[in-house]
């Protein structure tokens, strides 16, 4: 279905930085789940006389994010006050960055169904988070634990054209930030929030029209973006078509998204636009990022997901799918590479283990669990299979044992007697015995029932205690049956 308009989208992403302490005070930044108002001090409570002192790590993480997003580092940067009164803002102003943000003019590469695309990043600046509120009937309860947690606000240009593209953008952004160690961005903990600017563009009476946008505030999940964006775009379209408010409007409006009612609602119209009275915060001095700092941060920047995927596909000859799955988890990708380094076999075989069994076990083990044995042992297991010493199915058993006992695979194979029988003489004897006992199955197979062969293979394996090398069994069986046919 094609829409009569184009949706134009820009996203402002707020992410909490992975610091231990807050942006301007030494209170713990690990606020999620802490007892109310237990992580506060004069600074983040906005007590009279309290003063901010910036967190070096927060500034460096923000610069790291900028470098990962190909931003320019300005010669000077500073903090400004954004003035507005709200109960979750203890000082009556938020310390933010106005005209000299820490990062400007970057981009992010995005794969879209229409091919690769660069989403331009206008700026990424540092600020402090607000307190959290719980709402009751006619009142609100305020907890200042989150107050002052460092936030990076990343503002994209209006380069996105659909809700799916917007979601792909924030997913790609999240991947980069997590990879670079800038933020854990746990959306379920509110550590990433999105303000999405939506406008519609269309042609009417031969003229391109692009009426003012709506800013959908505070979306906190991909699902919300996916729903809210088309909803608001359609609402704007109808408003235009039916001669509604959009035809009168000259500036942007701010709307909220109600996930229950699945609709947007007006928060602030253009007439009520807040006058934030930004000015340089006189409690803080300006910053001149040193060349050494920038170069040190650049050097410590890990290979970013897009680059790594491309390299995996190229160097290890992996499928796009495998590369994607591996790179989606930095630890997994690192494990894979270490195992490849320890092995002489085809990296694809390592990849199969990592994307399959390893990932499944890690998922079962839950959050934060790593692989219990070193990558060299996975390489050793792959070697056992590739050399024919153990069968594929036995290898799975060995793998399970490695996971729980952490013993080396060779030891497990020995202890459990899982070594595969590849000796042709032994297998041939078993095959002959099976053929003699299963004349009917042989006849069926010859009559064209391919499944009968499977039954025969099973019989041979049974006879050899499950240790027969299947490829040898298959070959010998095929030879014997063919020869039988010839001699008949």
- Least distance in Å: CB of 287 to another protein? 5
Residue bearing tokens 């024919």:
388
Binding range to another protein, per CB under 8 A, among 50-58, 238-246, 340-348, 359-367: 50-58
Closest CA to 310 of 297, 301, 322: 322
Binding range to another protein, per CB under 8 A, among 19-27, 151-159, 350-358, 373-381: 19-27
The reply on whether position 53 binds another protein by CB under 8 A is yes
The reply on whether position 26 binds another protein by CB under 8 A is yes
**Alpha carbons 125 and 97: distance in angstroms, whole number:** 6
Distance of alpha carbon 66 from the chain centroid: 18
Number of residues that bind another protein (CB under 8 A): 70
Is the Cβ–Cβ distance between 336 and 327 less than 8 Å? Answer: no
Helix (H) or strand (E) holding 214: strand 214-219
The reply on whether position 138 binds another protein by CB under 8 A is yes
The reply on whether position 282 binds another protein by CB under 8 A is yes
- Which residues are CB-contacts of 247 (< 8 A; sequence separation ≥ 6)? 211, 239, 240
**Alpha carbons 468 and 135: distance in angstroms, whole number:** 68
- Provide the residue count of the chain: 488
The reply on whether position 40 binds another protein by CB under 8 A is yes
Nearer to another protein, 29 or 378 (CB): 29
Nearer to another protein, 48 or 243 (CB): 48
Nearer to another protein, 107 or 278 (CB): 278
**Alpha carbons 15 and 112: distance in angstroms, whole number:** 24
Residue bearing tokens 């933020």:
183
The reply on whether position 85 binds another protein by CB under 8 A is yes
Among 171, 288, 393, 405, contact with another protein (rule: CB under 8 A): 288
Closest CA to 41 of 31, 33, 32: 31
Tokens of 259: 């996930």
- Least distance in Å: CB of 279 to another protein? 6
Among 194, 240, 287, 336, contact with another protein (rule: CB under 8 A): 287
x-or-dash string of contact with another protein, 217-256, rule CB under 8 A: -------------------------------------x--
Nearer to another protein, 91 or 309 (CB): 91
Distance of alpha carbon 78 from the chain centroid: 31
Residue 351 CB burial class (10 angstroms; 0-12, 13-18, ≥19): buried
- Least distance in Å: CB of 80 to another protein? 10
The reply on whether position 134 binds another protein by CB under 8 A is yes
The reply on whether position 73 binds another protein by CB under 8 A is no
- Least distance in Å: CB of 142 to another protein? 4
Nearer to another protein, 257 or 336 (CB): 257
Segment 139-198, which members bind another protein (CB under 8 A)?
139-144
Helix (H) or strand (E) holding 103: strand 103-112
Nearer to another protein, 51 or 331 (CB): 51
Alpha carbon distances (Å) from 309 to 164, 261, 296, 319, 445: 21, 40, 24, 10, 46
Nearer to another protein, 144 or 312 (CB): 144
Q: Phi and psi of 416, rounded to 5°?
A: -95, 0
Residue bearing tokens 């994010």:
65
Contacts to another protein by CB under 8 A:
19-21, 25-29, 35-42, 44-59, 78, 81, 83-87, 90-93, 133-135, 138-144, 254, 267-268, 272, 274-275, 277, 279-280, 282-288, 290
């Amino acid at each position: 279905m094609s829409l009569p308009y184009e949706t134009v989208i820009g996203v402002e992403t707020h992410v909490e930085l992975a610091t231990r302490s807050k942006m301007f005070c030494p209170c713990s930044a690990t606020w999620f789940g802490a007892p109310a108002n237990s992580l506060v001090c004069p600074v983040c409570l906005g007590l009279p006389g309290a003063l901010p002192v910036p967190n070096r790590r927060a500034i460096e993480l923000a610069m790291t994010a900028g470098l990962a997003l190909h931003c320019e580092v300005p010669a000077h940067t500073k903090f400004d006050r954004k003035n507005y009164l709200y109960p979750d803002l203890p000082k009556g102003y938020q310390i933010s960055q106005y005209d000299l943000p820490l990062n400007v003019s970057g981009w992010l590469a995005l794969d879209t169904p229409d091919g690769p695309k660069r989403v331009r990043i206008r700026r990424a600046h540092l600020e402090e988070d607000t307190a959290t509120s719980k709402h009751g009937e006619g009142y609100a309860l305020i907890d200042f634990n989150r107050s002052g947690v460092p936030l990076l606000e990343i503002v994209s240009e209006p380069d996105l054209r659909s809700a799916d593209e917007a979601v792909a953008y924030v997913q790609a952004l999240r991947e980069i930030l997590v990879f670079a160690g800038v933020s854990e961005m746990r959306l379920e903990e509110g550590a990433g929030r999105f303000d999405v600017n939506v406008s519609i563009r269309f042609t009417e009476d031969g003229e391109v029209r692009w009426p003012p946008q709506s800013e959908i505030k505070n979306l906190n999940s991909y699902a919300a973006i996916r729903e809210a964006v088309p909803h608001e775009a359609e609402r704007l379209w109808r408003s235009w078509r039916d001669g509604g408010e959009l035809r009168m409007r000259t500036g942007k409006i701010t709307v909220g998204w109600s996930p229950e009612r699945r609709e947007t609602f007006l928060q602030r119209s253009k007439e009520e636009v807040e006058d934030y009275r930004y000015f340089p915060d006189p409690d803080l001095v300006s910053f001149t990022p040193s060349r050494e700092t920038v170069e040190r941060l650049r050097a410590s920047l890990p290979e970013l997901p897009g680059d790594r995927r491309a390299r995996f596909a190229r160097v290890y000859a992996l499928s796009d799918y495998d590369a994607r799955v591996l790179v989606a988890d930095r630890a997994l990708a690192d494990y894979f590479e270490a195992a490849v380094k320890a092995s002489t076999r085809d990296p694809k075989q390592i990849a199969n283990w990592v994307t399959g069994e390893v990932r499944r076990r890690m998922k079962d083990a839950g959050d934060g669990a790593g692989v219990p044995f070193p990558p060299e042992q996975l390489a050793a297991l792959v070697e056992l299979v590739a050399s024919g010493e153990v069968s594929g199915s036995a290898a799975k058993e060995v793998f399970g044992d490695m996971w729980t006992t952490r013993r080396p695979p060779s030891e497990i194979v020995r202890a459990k007697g899982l070594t595969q029988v590849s000796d042709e003489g032994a297998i041939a004897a078993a095959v002959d015995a099976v053929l003699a006992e299963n004349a009917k199955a042989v006849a069926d197979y010859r009559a064209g029932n391919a499944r009968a062969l499977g039954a025969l293979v099973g019989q041979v394996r049974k006879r050899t205690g499950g240790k027969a090398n299947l490829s040898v069994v298959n070959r010998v069986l095929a030879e014997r049956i063919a020869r039988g046919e010839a001699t008949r």
